[in-house]
Amino acid sequence: MSQRFHLIVEFDGGAYVGWQRQDNGPAVQAALEQAAFAFSQEKVHVQGAGRTDAGVHARAMSAHVDFNKPCDANRVREALNALLRGHKIAVLAVSAVPDTFNARFSCLGRSYEYRILNRRPEPTFDRPYCWHVRGPLDHQAMQEAAQVLVGHHDFSAFRAAECQAASPIKTLDHLSVARSGDWVIVRSHAKSYIHNQVRNMVGSLVQVGLGKWTARDLETVLVGRNRQAAGPCAPAEGLFFWRAWYDEADGPGANPRFFDHPLSPDAAV
């Protein structure tokens, strides 16, 4: 009888072509599956809560994997991390879960954080983990404009050309913009997203922050459903998959410190 485990995984997306296994380069999913095979001698499938593009990072990607032989959760974590040495991937936590749990389909919501370094000098330490915008950004105008996008909409204006989603209609539960010193942080929550939605929304919000657009302009873009009219796609390196959640009590609506603690290994149980 197989045992299912819930994994919380952190990774630096700059080293990978994305989460999903692909033929054109190393993927996070493939690295985890190779480590799991080396540990168990079983060919397994690691199912993630979502997909990330090349260059996008994760603070706490949720995933699950099944092993046929009996395993201790702590041993699974230690073995996978030992076998992942040399990769920019860490398994932060492992917990045994019922086989009814599915990292993707049991998920109630997914949260992202986008980081903009807003100053004139070039970044030194943070270059791989942010979008550097030199011009001053009005984060309050960005926050006001962001509320235009919250709700149930056709997000065609923020959809990648290669998006394979059946529909561009999604419900965005939360979108906020805040400043902390030189950092402008954009945070979003939704059950699901279309391809490049967050990065395309951030690119348009920066147009507002630079004073090139108003909130009304952003609304016109949303209603117009024309990707060519929207702002640029923000660089992948600024985007972090923050958390997936499986219990409303653990979600951003109930947990005021949701973004302080990306690691919640028991959220799936």
Q: Which CATH class is domain 3-97?
A: alpha beta
Task: Report pLDDT digits (tens) over 213-236.
Answer: 999 999 999 999 999 999 999 999
| Residue 250 annotated among the catalytic residues of the structure | no
* DSSP SS3 for 243: strand
| Residue range(s) in the chain whose domain bears CATH number 3.30.70.580 | 3-97
| Residue 269 pLDDT greater than 60, yes or no | no
Specify which residues 113 forms β-bridges with: 187, 240
How high is the pLDDT of residue 263? 59
Dist. CA 54–CA 2, nearest whole Å? 32
Question: Average model confidence (pLDDT) for the chain?
Answer: 93
pLDDT tens-digit map of 175-199: 999 999 999 999 999 999 998 999 9
pLDDT single digits (tens) 2-28: 999 999 999 999 999 999 998 889 999
Where in the chain are all domains bearing CATH 3.30.70.660? 109-246
Residue 124 DSSP SS3: coil
Question: Which of 12, 53, 72, 260 is flagged as catalytic?
Answer: 53
The dotted CATH code for 109-246 is 3.30.70.660
- Considering the entire predicted model, what is its pTM? 0.93
CA angle 172, 138, 211 (to 5 degrees): 95
